[in-house]
Amino acid sequence: MAHAVKELFPDVKLAIGPAIDDGFYYDFDCDISITQDDLPKIEKKMKEIIKSKNPFERKELAKADALNLFKDLGETYKVELINELDDNSVTVYEEGGFIDLCRGPHLDKTNKVKAFKLLSVAGAYWRGDEKNKMLQRIYGTAFPTKEALKQHLDFLEEVKKRDHRRLGKELDLFSINDEIGSGLVLWHPRGAAIRREIEKFWLDEHHRAGYQILYTPHMAKLDLWKKTGHLDFYKENMYSPMEVEGLDYEIKPMNCPFHVSIFKSHLRSYRDLPLRYAELGTVYRYERSGVLHGLLRVRGFTQDDAHIFCSENQIDDEVLSVLDFTLFILRTFGFDNYDIYLSTRPDKYVGTEEGWKKATDALGKALHVKGLRYEEDPGEGVFYGPKIDIKVRDSLGRQWQCSTIQVDFNIPERLDINYRGTDSREHRPIMIHRALMGSLERFFGVLIEHYAGAFPVWLSPVQISILPIAERHAEYCRNLMSTLLKEDIRVEMDEDNEKIGYKIRRASVLKTPYMCIIGDKEISSNTVNIRKRNGENTGEMTIESLISFLKEQISNRR
């Protein structure tokens, strides 16, 4: 692809072009704009190069020679990359007069490339830094057969249909407005109705599981974040401090120091442990504009956060309990498939190796006891402790990071928290950090794509839409709506002066689970006629039967 682009746009400068999970991309510095309309032209040139059967020739050059080569070619990005290499030699590949910096290996000839497709064009800052120049990125994919390529392209079409940004607009669920700020989510009434149902479920289940619910501020003095280590290890994800009456304050990236402060507000005994605090706490983290992505990557979000304070001999039971709780929550929302990872100590960390080993062993032991298969993810723990990450797979088999469980020996030490043990001495508690859904924003985005916007009844923003056939049926419909509202059923009525077919289509576009169609027959028999969003008619039923039918589905979370 880079060869083809260079042939068509000779003044282009080459940046980087790696393989990625589902294809490849290449970044170009080009004075003219490469658009989606240029992709067929680039594909045509690629096919010509493939047909030429050029061999890929690997060459190993001294670093100085490689620098001179790419300087002569005017490839300034390659020169920058080579200058940063520690090796004394550099490998390049050449085919048909085109040469590029690459480790390899490659196929032996260009004609071994089979089915491919260029997918899209996007902007990308050099090295992901908005201070650098904006480059033009072309995405593509390749497969060994046309059939495999077609299957993948069909999959991508389904992904487009489920894109939560598109469905969020079509279903009027949420928006992100530049006047408010990038990465800051506005929940519309329909989206807020789903969020309210999620929060109600979350709160009820945490109450049953012995958690105490907290509410904490959105900012704190900067010194607090110095004590926790966030300012040393997490600064790039935090916003600039603000001055209040001569003191620096920081908008919170985490909830944990606040929960620690509540723990410290009383003298604690071993009898108080385990102490489980939970909060739907909104936090703010700096994300570069180039990586923001709808609900999936935002700057302000609400974590379903909790911190468990326990003694060392309670860790195993608490981690096991959290694992059970996590999988119950995920299954309730329809996620039965997931991958589990045990993330170990990163290069930059706080605490002792002994503490890290104890924490990591506790997480690994819990996974073994539960018989859960997992992979180790070396170096991907947070700076204060190792973690279990649970990544759900949606209805298309895509993987999403949601749940995390972390064992922390370090923040209790740094913030000096203690409890009185059975020996009447002071002991350090252990903290277990956990989020079951992750962030509500991200989880909602995943839910939208998992269900393609057609939520189960218990989550649907409107569970049933009442559609009067004519104006004379409106009064009956209003009374029915009032009855359903009193039963805590989310209902709306379409009173527009439109034909019933149009009203049905409108409710179907909004993916309302059920439509209640009311005409002369229903009024005379004091019944309702129910239609599902897939077009299936369930027939007539009494109002009492309808209420029982809906409440049964809602209570069973279907």
Q: Is 307 a catalytic residue?
A: yes
Question: Amino acid identity, residue 357?
Answer: K
**367 to 310, 344, 373, 486: CA distances (angstroms):** 19, 14, 7, 45
Q: Please tell me which residue in 152, 285, 345, 473 is annotated as part of the active site.
A: 285
Q: Is 450 a catalytic residue?
A: no
Q: Is 305 a catalytic residue?
A: yes
How far apart are the C-alpha atoms of 193 and 277, rounded to whole Å? 25
Residues 341, 377 contacting (CB under 8 angstroms): yes
Q: Please tell me which residue in 307, 434, 503, 533 is annotated as part of the active site.
A: 307
Pick from 210, 536, 546, 269: nearest CA to 426: 269
End-to-end CA distance of the chain: 48
Q: Is 433 a catalytic residue?
A: yes
Task: Write a three-state SS string for 450-472.
Answer: HHCCCCCCCCCCCCEEEEECCHH
Q: Position of tokens 């379903």?
A: 304
How far apart are the C-alpha atoms of 294 and 110, rounded to whole Å? 38
Q: Please tell me which residue in 38, 304, 305, 394 is annotated as part of the active site.
A: 305
Region label for 416, one of left (φ > 0), alpha (ψ between -120 and 50) or beta (otherwise):
left
How distant is the alpha carbon of residue 399 from its chain centre?
Answer: 9
Q: Is 428 a catalytic residue?
A: no
CB neighbour list of residue 133: distance below 8 Å, 6 or more residues apart: 29, 125, 126
Look up residue 180 and give its DSSP letter.
T
Q: Please tell me which residue in 206, 387, 473, 511 is annotated as part of the active site.
A: 387
Q: Please tell me which residue in 3, 152, 256, 516 is annotated as part of the active site.
A: 256
How far apart are the C-alpha atoms of 527 and 546, rounded to whole Å? 9
Residues 451, 395 contacting (CB under 8 angstroms): yes
Pick from 301, 50, 320, 51: nearest CA to 176: 301
Q: Please tell me which residue in 136, 303, 314, 463 is annotated as part of the active site.
A: 303
What are the structure tokens assigned to 487, written together?
Answer: 């039963």
What are the structure tokens assigned to 237, written together?
Answer: 């994800």
How far apart are the C-alpha atoms of 472 and 271, rounded to whole Å? 67
Residues 209, 277 contacting (CB under 8 angstroms): no
Residues 498, 450 contacting (CB under 8 angstroms): no
Identify each DSSP E strand in 490-535 by its residue range: 491-493, 514-518, 527-532
Q: Is 387 a catalytic residue?
A: yes
What are the structure tokens assigned to 171, written together?
Answer: 């279903």
Residues 273, 245 contacting (CB under 8 angstroms): no
How far apart are the C-alpha atoms of 162 and 156, rounded to whole Å? 10
Is residue 27 exposed (0-12), middle (13-18) or buried (19+ Cβ within 10 Å)? buried
Q: Please tell me which residue in 268, 433, 442, 533 is annotated as part of the active site.
A: 433
**23 to 94, 144, 232, 488: CA distances (angstroms):** 21, 12, 37, 48
How far apart are the C-alpha atoms of 391 and 109, rounded to whole Å? 39
Pick from 331, 363, 295: nearest CA to 456: 331
Q: Position of tokens 């005379």?
A: 524
How far apart are the C-alpha atoms of 117 and 456, rounded to whole Å? 36
Q: Is 553 a catalytic residue?
A: no
Q: Which residues are known to be catalytic? A: 256, 285, 303, 305, 307, 387, 433
